[in-house]
Structure 1
Amino acid sequence: MSTTTATATEIPTSRTEADSDRVAKGKPLGHTAGVPVYGWGQAPPYLRTKTQLGADRLNVTEEQEQAPLAYVRTRDYGDVPLHDPAGAVKMKPLPSSTKAKMAARRTCPECGTVRKMVLRGPCSECRERAEKERLRLLARTCAGCSTVRERPYPQGHRRCQTCRQEQLQAKRERVEAWLVEVTVCVGDGCTMRLSSKTRARAWLKERAWLLNPERIGLPDSSWWPDWSRRCPPCAAAYEQEQEHRRAEYQERYERQERERAERERQAAAARVRWAAETLVDPSVVVVDTETTGLGDDARIVELAVLSSAGDVLLDTLVDPGVPIPAVASDIHGITDSDVAGAPRFSDVVARLGALLKGKRVLIYNKGYDVGVLRHELTLHYAGVTPDGDAVAAANRQAAAWLEALDVEDVMIPYSDWVGDWSEYHGNNRWQPLQGGHRAAGDCRAVLDCLRAMGRSYERLAAVGGGLDEGEAA
C-alpha cells in the first residue's frame, strides 16, 4: 500500500496580496465630488486627517497639491477630509516670536507654568488651590460677626462663642413664642390653654430637623400639631363668622351674576334696536370692497355702495394697476381681463366721496376695508412718482378724508348677536359674511345680517313706535 505526502499549495510568484492598511473596511456611504464618504472606522486605515498629520509633525497637506482621497462622516464636524501621509511635507520651523506667543497663551498667570492647552485665566491647579484657601478662610470666619481666627470654628454652627449664644437665645425665644401660640386658644381676647407646653415641646423634639438653628423660623401652620386651636366657644363663634362670610360671598356672587346678565340683556336689546333703526335710516349706506390680497398694500378691484333699502348707488370694477394674484381671483373670481378698461380708483374717488359725505357708513370688518381705502387714497394723493414729502402729505390727506366719515362696523355686533363663544380667544367668533365674495353681494349680505338682528323691531321702527328693550329677539 503506497502513501502520498500532502504538500501545502504554493502561491504563484506573480500574485501579490493587497495591503490591508490601504483597503477600506466597509463600503462608502456616498460620494462628494466623486470622492467616497465612509462611516466612522470604515475608511482605509492609512489615510489621516489634517489634525493627525499635524500630530505627526507633518505640515497640513496643501489642497492645491493633494486633494482629499476620502471623507469620514462624523456627528459633530460633518464630513472630514482624509489625506495620504506620503504626500505631506515636513512642518516648517516656527519663528521664535510665534513660539513665544503660543507659549504665552499656555502660561498660567498665577504660577507661571506652561501648560499643554491654551488657558483663559489661571490653570486648574491654581484654581483648586484658590478654592481650598477660600474654604479654609471660610471655616475660620464667624458666620455671625465675620471675625477671622487661627483655628476653624465648629462645623455645626461656625460661630464664635458670643454669636453662638445669641443664636441659641434667639432660638429659645422663637420656641417659647411658638409654644404659646400652639397651646393657647387663638380666639380674639381668649387666653384659655388647650394643651400643655410639655406636650408641644415633645411634639417638636420628635421632628428634630424643625429645631435646626439655621432655619429662619419655626414650622408654619401646615406643620403645627393637629389638636384643636380654639376652645369650644371660640370654635362656635369662628364657625358662625365663617358661615356669615360664606353667605355674604354667595349673595355678592349672585348679585354680580344678576348684574352681568342684565348688562348682557341690555346690550343684546341695544344691538337689536340699533340694527332695526339702521335698516330704516335713509342716511345709511353699506360699503364693501374686493381686493388683490389681504396685505397692507392690497389694491381695490371692485367697489360697491348700497343704500339701507338695498338700492345700488355704486357698483363698479376697478383697475388696480397691478396684476391680480391667482389666489385672490380664486376667491372673488375677478381676473385681469375683467378689470381691463375699468376705471382706476382715482376716477371714482370723487363719486365715492359724494356718496359717503354726511352718511352713516356701514362696513363688515371695517378695520380691513378702511385700511384698504387709506392705502388707495394715499396713492391717489401722492401722485405717480411721489417723494418723501409728497407721501407724508398724502398720508395726512387720506387720514382727513377718512376722519370726515361716520363709519360703523357690523361684524362685531352681528358676531355678538350670534353668540358663538370661543374659549381660546375669550370672545365671540367672527362670523363669515355669506355674500359670494363680490362687493354688491357682500353689501346685500350685510343688510341680511341687520334684518336677522332687528326683525322683531323692523315694523315698529318703520312706523315710529316705541322700542321695548325687553322684547329683544
Structure 2
Amino acid sequence: MSTTTAAETEIPSSRTEPEAAPAVPKPKVYGWGQAPAHLRTQTQLAAERLKLAPGQKPVAYLYIQRHGQFDLYDPADAVKMKPLGSSTKAQMTARRTCPECGKVRKYPVRKRCSVCQTKAYEAQRRREARTCWDCRTVRERPLPVSHHRCPDCRRKQLDQQREEAVAWVEEATVCAGEDCTVKLVTKKEARAHQKQQGLQRGWWSRAAHWPRRCAPCTEAEERRQAEQRARWEAGDQARREAERREAQARVQWAAEALADPDVLVLDTETTGLDDDARIVEIAVLSSRGEVLLDTLLNPGVPIPVDASQIHGITDSDVASANRFSDVLARLVALLNGKRVLIYNKAFDVGVLRHELTLHYLDCSPIEATEEKAAVWARERAAVWLDTLTVEDVMIPYSDWVGDWSEYWGNNRWQPLQGGHRAAGDCRAVLDCLRSMGRGYETVAAGDGGRDEGEAG
C-alpha cells in the first residue's frame, strides 16, 4: 500500500482559472468646499445648458451636513442641450420681469422683485415713522421715537398719565378695607416711590414694607377669609359625603338588581348606529342568567358590511328568521311588569321605538292618510315604551369604574365586553352588576334573593 497522501500529490488541471477583473475605484466623497472646481451637479449642468449623456455616472459625491449627498459629474462627458426657441425664451423673460420696475431679474418674479419689495418696505417704514400712533394722522416730518404721537395726542397722553399717577397715589395711601379712609402712607412717600419706578409707566406697585390695611380692617379680612375657608371645607366635605353615598347607592342598586326576580336584561344588535337602524338580533335574560329570548330577526333591509364585521351577522343568517312583529307579542309578555336593564339605554330604546313605529305603521287604519298614520304609529310606540321600566347600566357602571376624562369632564363610558352578540352582551351586563354589587350580597340575600356569583 502506498503511503503517499492526497495532499502531497499534485494533480495537473486541464482548466485555466479566469483572470480577475480589474477593480473599479469607487467615486470619492468630498466635503463642503473640497470638491474640484470643474465638477458640476446635475442642476449646475442644466444651468450651463448641459445634460447627462446616456449611461453617464457620477465621478464623485458631495456630502453636506444636514442636506445629504449630491452627485458630481464631469461636464466634459455631458451633452449640450438644444437651443431654446424664441417663444420659450420670451416666456422665461416674461416670468423674470418685474411688473413694477420692468427690469429682468435672474429669478422668477411674481408680484414684485426683491429690489421693489425692499423699496416698498422702506417707504412703509418712513410713512409709519410720520404716522401718529393714536389718531393715525400722517405728518410731514418723523415723530419723536420715544412716543410716536402728534402734539395734541401727546398732550392727551401726558394728561392721562398725570390722572393715573394722582389716582394711584390716592389709592396707595389709603387703607384697602371697604369704606375705610385711614391714611397708612404719606403722599410724599408715595410720590417718591412712584417717581423711583418711573412716571411714564402705566401702573405702579406698592412698596413691600407698606401696610395694605389698618389693624381693624386686617382683623376683619382675616375673619372673612377664615369664614370663607370654613364654608369651602364644609362644602367640600358635604360633596365628598354625597359622592360616597352615591357610590354606596350604586353598589347596593347593583346587588339588589341581581337578587330581584323581576329584573330582566335586554340587548339588541342592529344594522348600524343611525336613527333608522333595524334590529337583527334581540335577547332577554333574567337576573340569574336564564335565557328567556334569544333570536335573530330579519330586518327587511340589507345588513351593511361594516355592521356584519362587528357582530358577525350576515344577510344569509337572517334570511329565514322572523320579523320584529312576529316576536313582539312574546316580547310584551316577557317585559310586562318587569324592570328592564339595558347597557346604553338611549340607543336600544331608540331602535325599539323605530321598530315599534314601523310595526304600528303597518297596522294603521286603511282610511288614514300617510301623515296621520305616521303620527298615530309614533304615538302608539311612545305609549308602549312608557309602560316599561327601563334602567341604564352603562352610566352607573362607568361612574363605578371612575375613569375620569378631562376632555369630556365626566367619567369615560366603558365598553361592554360581550362579543357584540345580544345574549353575550346581556351576560356581560350581569358581570358588570356582579362587579359593582360585590360586598352587598348578604344584604340582597337578606331581602329574599341570592347573589348570582354565589349561585355560580
Q: Same fold (TM over 0.5)?
A: yes
- Paired with 2:67 and 2:382, the residues of 1 have a C-alpha distance of 62
Which amino acid is 1:312 matched to? V
Per-residue CA distance 1:55-108 (angstroms, 9 max, x = gap): 2234x45xxx8356359698769987969754523432421x433332232222
Contact persistence 1:301–1:317 (CA under 8 A):
yes
The structure-2 alpha-carbon separation of the partners of 1:78 and 1:164, relative to structure 1 and needing over 3 Å to count, comes to same
Matches within 5 A, 1:295-374: 304-314=283-293, 346-347=321-322, 353-357=328-332, 358=336, 359-364=338-343
Residue in structure 2 matched with residue 195 of structure 1 by the alignment = 186
* Paired residue secondary structure (2:106): coil
- The aligned counterpart of 1:31 is none
Question: Could you list the runs of 5+ residues in structure 2 that have no partner in the other structure?
Answer: 1-21, 360-373, 450-456
Distance 1:173 1:104, change over 3 A: same
Quote how far apart the aligned CAs of 1:356 are.
3.0
Change (3 A) 1:451 1:434: farther
| Structure 2 counterpart of 1:224, from 203, 206, 216 | 206
Deviations along 1:105-126, whole A, 9 cap, x unmatched? 2222332222211122333333
- For residues 315 and 194 of structure 1, the distance between their equivalents in structure 2, rounded to whole angstroms, comes to 85
Q: Which amino acid aligns with 2:393?
A: V
SS of residue matched to 1:111: coil
| Aligned partners of 1:271 and 1:413 also within 8 Å | yes
In structure 2, the residue matched to 1:32 is none
Secondary structure of the equivalent of 1:180?
helix
Q: Kindly indicate whether the alpha-carbon contact (under 8 Å) linking 2:254 and 2:434 is maintained by their aligned counterparts in 1.
A: no
1:264 aligned residue (243, 251, 258): 243
- Pick the aligned partner of 1:249 from 225, 228, 232: 228
TM-score (ref. length: structure 2): 0.60
Which residue of 1 is the match for residue 169 of structure 2? Answer: 179
Does residue 51 of the first structure (1) align with residue 43 of the second (2)?
Answer: yes
Distance in 2, Cα, partners of 1:127 & 1:79: 33
Which deviates further from its counterpart, 367-376 or 279-288?
Answer: 367-376
> What is the identity, as a one-letter code, of the residue corresponding to 1:218?
W
Q: Distance in 2 between matches of 1:107 and 1:269?
A: 81
Partner of 1:119: 109
Query: Structure 1, residues 309-346: CA drift from partner, whole Å, max 9, x if none?
Result: 554324579999999x9x999xxxxx99xx9x987682
Aligned to 1:390: none
Q: Contact between 1:211 and 1:218, CA under 8 Å: does it hold in 2?
A: no
Deviation at 1:48, TM superposition (A): 5.2
The one-character-per-residue Cα deviations of 1:366-412 (angstroms, maximum 9, x if unpaired) are 5787799999999x9xxxxxxxxxxxx9xx99xx6998465433344
- Find the counterpart in structure 2 of residue 14 from structure 1: none
Q: Take 2:101 and 2:134, find their aligned partners in 1: how far apart are those partners?
A: 35
- SS, match of residue 89 in structure 2: helix
| Alpha-carbon displacement from aligned partner over 1:262-281 (angstroms, at most 9, x marks no partner) | 54355356545644664565
* 446-455 vs 71-80, which moves further: 71-80
Q: For residue 3 of structure 2, what is the aligned residue in structure 1? A: none
Report percent identity of matched pairs: 44
Q: Which amino acid aligns with 1:362?
A: L
State the distance in 1 between where 2:418 and 2:242 align: 32
Compared CA separation, residues 168 and 424, structure 1 to 2 (3 A): closer
Q: Is the 8 A contact 1:143 1:159 kept in 2?
A: yes
Match of 1:4 in 2: none
Question: Partners of 1:343 and 1:103 in 2: how far apart?
Answer: 72
1:105 equivalent in structure 2: 95
d(CA) in 2 for partners of 1:371, 1:77 = 61
Question: 1:106 touches 1:116 (CA, 8 Å); kept in 2?
Answer: yes
Contact 2:252 2:440 (8 Å CA) reproduced: yes
The one-letter code matched in structure 1 to 2:183 is: M
Q: How does 1:284-299 map to 2 (within 5 A)?
A: 284-287=263-266
| TM-score of the superposed pair, with normalisation by structure 1 | 0.59
Give SS of 1:121's match.
coil
- Say how many residue pairs are matched: 392
Q: Give the letter aligned to residue 94 of structure 2.
A: A
Q: Which residue of 1 aligns with 2:362?
A: none
Say if 1:275 and 1:453, in contact at 8 Å, map to a contact too. Answer: no
User: 1:135-169 CA distances to partner (integer Å, 9 max, x unpaired)?
Assistant: 33444445565565554444334445555444444
Give the conservation status (yes or no) of the 8 Å contact 1:282–1:308: yes
CA distance in structure 2 between the aligned counterparts of 1:318 and 1:160, rounded to whole angstroms: 84
The separation in 1 between residues aligned to 2:411 and 2:137, in whole angstroms, is 68
Q: Is the 8 A contact 1:185 1:194 kept in 2?
A: no
Helix, strand or coil at the partner of 1:178:
helix
- The verdict on how the C-alpha distance between 1:345 and 1:239 changes in structure 2, with shifts beyond 3 A counting, is farther
Q: Evaluate the alpha carbon distance shift between residue 351 and residue 274 of structure 1 in structure 2; reply closer, same or farther with a 3 A threshold.
A: farther
Alpha carbons of structure 1 residues 275 and 39: separation in structure 2 relative to 1, 3 Å: same
Partner residue, 2:219: 240
User: C-alpha root-mean-square deviation of aligned residues, in Å?
Assistant: 5.8
2:364 alignment counterpart: none
Alignment partners' CA distance in 2, 1:54 and 1:106: 18
- Which one of the candidate residues 121, 135, 142 is aligned to 2:125? 135
